[in-house]
Structure formats: C-alpha cells, structure tokens
Amino acid sequence: MFATYPYQGRTYSFNPQAPLDISLPLAPGENQVNCFWAEPVQFDVIRVGSFVGSVADGGSTNYKRVHVTPHGNGTHTECFGHISPEPQATLNRCLRRFLFVARLISVQPRPQPNGDLVVMLDDFRRELEGGPYADIAPEAVILRTLPNHKAKRARQYSGTNPTYLEPALGQYLADQHIEHLLLDLPSVDREEDEGALLAHHGFWQYPHATRHTSTITELIFVPDEVEDGLFLLNLQITSLELDASPSKPVLYSLGGA
C-alpha cells in the first residue's frame, strides 16, 4: 500500500507500512545512551497507602513516575529556547508541523590539530549539494557520522569530548533554509566551549533573526543498511512546555517523482 506526498511541484510515493524509527529508546539503567552528565533514566513505582503501582508486586495496575533529562537521555528534539531566556520559547509551541521532506547524508568527521573530531562544512556541503537529489531543496537533513558503530546506541558520552560540527555549518544550514537538523551526536557544538554554542546560534540565527520553528534533534541512530537518500520525516514529540522533549523521528523512503 503506497501513499503520495506532494513537494515542490512533484509527487512522491512512500509506503506508510514501512517506517524506519531512528530514535533510541528510553529505558532505566546504565546501558542506555547518555551525555552531559545526566543521571540515567529511572522508573519509580508509585506507592500511596496500600496501593502499589506494580502488577508484578501485587498491584491492580502499573503506575510509575519517570525521571528523565531530555538533553542527556536518549533521542531528543530542541528548539531555540535551549539558548534563550524567553519563557514562551518551548518546543511544543515552536514545532507546529510534523511531516518534512528530508535528506539523509553520511559524513566522515576530520581530526583537528587539537585532537577533536569535527564534521567540516566543506564535506557536508559536498554531500548535500551533490548526487541525484541535488536539485531538491529539503526541509530537513539527517546527518549520519562515519564510521557508524552500533555502539552509538548505548555510548556514554559525558567527558569524552564527542564529535561536533564546525561552527560555520550552523550558519550554512540556516542559509540553505534547512528547518530541521537531526544527527547521531550529543550536540552540534563542542562538549565544553565556554558557553559559546556557535553552531546552535548560527543554526537558529539567535537572537537577531531567530528561526522560531527550526529544531535540532540529537542522539538518533540510522542503521548502515539504510542508504543515503530522500525521505519523508515524521518528527514526533511529547507536548511538554520545555525547550526540549524526548522524541521519535520516523522516516519513510520517498520514491518516484
């Protein structure tokens, strides 16, 4: 069963029964992906009087409290409120559409003289502006860094100075009108950069020409068997009035135009 999706004067087909979930699950314990010194996810059984919120422990229903740090635990999506003091700058208010045409591209980070691994603008631009989809301006970009180890699914990133983006790449994405960036890294910026957050500022054009509806999704994972190409992205979030939310980006391969 195929459906169609019109975009930029073309009509693409996709199979709604063949989703590709590129989010990482949230589960308790130490073996889940983690960054920025966040505590592990925790599920606590609610106990009130004689009530126990656990069927396994004799309760009538399961009823639990969830302890999670969106920016540090699992796949999450953030808006410009991440770097803004504005109380209204929440993801739930900024993200009002949920379907986007996206390009998946893979880039090998380059080692720098200081030992850092960085996704360079020139390498990213070469992939985005080349190939069979160069004439299609995507709304979203999914960045898969190489090599693509499955260890990314449970990596403990805190204090390891993970790979990040060359700061100019944030500005480039804004210039190309890329509204949504998804990547398999903890952050677009260096783990410790004295609060500069240059790629964040460049991408959101904050504070002088803020792109209010743009988002960054971090800590995704795209399997090796998925080839670079064109996809329909369904970006799912929770309705939290925060700058970030655990999220579930789902892809559908687009064909025929």
CATH code, 221: 3.50.30.50
Which residues have a Cβ under 8 Å from the Cβ of 234 and sit 6 or more positions away?
A: 19, 98, 99, 249, 250, 251, 252
pTM, two decimal places: 0.97
Q: What is the domain range of residue 101?
A: 3-25+70-253
| Residue 64: strand, helix, or coil | strand
Residue 42 is assigned to a structural domain of this protein? no
Q: Alpha-carbon distance 204 to 81, whole Å?
A: 10
Residue 48 is assigned to a structural domain of this protein? no
1-13 tens-digit pLDDT: 899 999 999 999 9
76-133 tens-digit pLDDT: 999 999 999 999 999 999 999 999 999 999 999 999 999 999 999 999 999 999 989 9
Specify the pLDDT at position 131. Answer: 85
Specify the pLDDT at position 78. Answer: 98
Residue 230 is assigned to a structural domain of this protein? yes
Tally of domains in the chain: 1
What integer is the mean pLDDT of 165-174?
98
The band of 257, judged by pLDDT with boundaries at 50, 70 and 90, is low
Residue 39 is assigned to a structural domain of this protein? no
Residue 65 is assigned to a structural domain of this protein? no
Residue 139 is assigned to a structural domain of this protein? yes
22-53 tens-digit pLDDT: 999 999 988 899 999 999 999 999 999 999 99
Residue 54 is assigned to a structural domain of this protein? no
Specify the pLDDT at position 118. Answer: 98
Residue 13: C-alpha distances to residues 56, 142, 152, 228, 236 (Å): 45, 20, 31, 17, 21
Q: For residue 218, which of 240, 243, 196 has the smallest C-alpha distance?
A: 243
Kindly provide the b/e burial profile for residues 8-21, where b requires at least 16 CB atoms within 10 angstroms of the residue's own CB: eeeebebeeeeeee
Q: Alpha-carbon distance 199 to 102, whole Å?
A: 20
Pairing of strands 20-21, 244-253: antiparallel
139-160 tens-digit pLDDT: 999 999 999 999 999 999 999 9
Task: Say if residues 221 and 153 touch (Cβ distance below 8 Å).
Answer: yes
